[in-house]
Amino acid sequence: MTDKTARVIAMYLPQFHPIPENDGMWGKGFTEWRKVVAAKPLFPGHYQPKLPSDLGFYDLRLPDAREAQAQLARDHGVEGFCYYHYWFGGKRLLERPFNEVLSSGKPDFPFCLCWANESWSGVWVGKPDEIIMEQTYPGPDEHAAHFNALLPAFRDKRYLRIDDKPIFFIYRPMKMPEVRAYIAQWRQLAKDAGLAGIYFIGVNHRNLIWEPGEHGFDASVAHRLPDTRPWVSRRQPLRWLRFQMQAVRDWPTIYRYEDALRAPVFDKTNTGAWYPTVYPNWDTSARHGSRGLVIDGGTPELFREQLQSAVDLVAQRPEQNRIVMLKSWNEWAEGNYVEPDQRYGTRFLEAIRDVVRQ
Beta carbons within 10 angstroms of residue 82's beta carbon: 25
**Domain residue limits, the chain:** 7-231+263-286+298-356
Tens of pLDDT, residue by residue over 308-332, are 999 999 999 999 999 999 999 999 9
- State CA 226 to chain mean position distance: 16
Tens of pLDDT, residue by residue over 136-162, are 999 999 999 999 999 999 999 999 999
Cβ contacts of residue 177 below 8 Å, gap of 6+?
137
pTM: 0.93
Distance CA 88, CA 117 (A): 8
Beta carbons within 10 angstroms of residue 183's beta carbon: 22
Cβ contacts of residue 357 below 8 Å, gap of 6+?
3, 4, 5, 77
The reported pLDDT for the residue numbered 144 is: 98
Opening angle at CA 207, ends 203 and 211, nearest 5: 55
Residue type (1 letter), 320: Q
Strand partners, 127: 122
Q: Is 278 exposed, middle or buried (0-12, 13-18, 19+ CB in 10 A)?
A: buried
The reported pLDDT for the residue numbered 206 is: 65
User: Edge-to-edge, what's the strand order for the sheet holding 282-283?
Assistant: 253-256, 293-296, 282-283
Q: Where are the alpha helices (DSSP H) in 29-119?
A: 32-38, 63-75, 96-104
- State CA 25 to chain mean position distance: 23
Comparing 43 with 231, the larger pLDDT belongs to 43
Distance CA 124, CA 41 (A): 18
Tens of pLDDT, residue by residue over 178-211, are 999 999 999 999 999 999 999 999 999 866 668 9
| Average pLDDT of the residues in 240-259 | 65
Tens of pLDDT, residue by residue over 42-88, are 999 999 999 999 999 999 999 999 999 999 999 999 999 999 999 99
* Homologous superfamily, domain 7-231+263-286+298-356: Glycosidases (3.20.20.80)
The reported pLDDT for the residue numbered 130 is: 77
- Percentages of the chain per state (helix, strand, coil), in multiples of 5: 35, 25, 45
Three-class DSSP category at 299: coil
The reported pLDDT for the residue numbered 238 is: 35
The reported pLDDT for the residue numbered 121 is: 78
| Average pLDDT of the residues in 288-293 | 91
Three-class DSSP category at 67: helix
Band of pLDDT at residue 230, cut at 50, 70 and 90: very low
Using the 8-state DSSP alphabet, how is residue 95 labeled? -
E-state strands within the chain: 7-12, 78-88, 91-93, 111-115, 120-122, 127-133, 161-162, 165-170, 199-204, 219-222, 253-256, 273-275, 277-278, 282-283, 293-296, 323-326, 330-331, 336-337
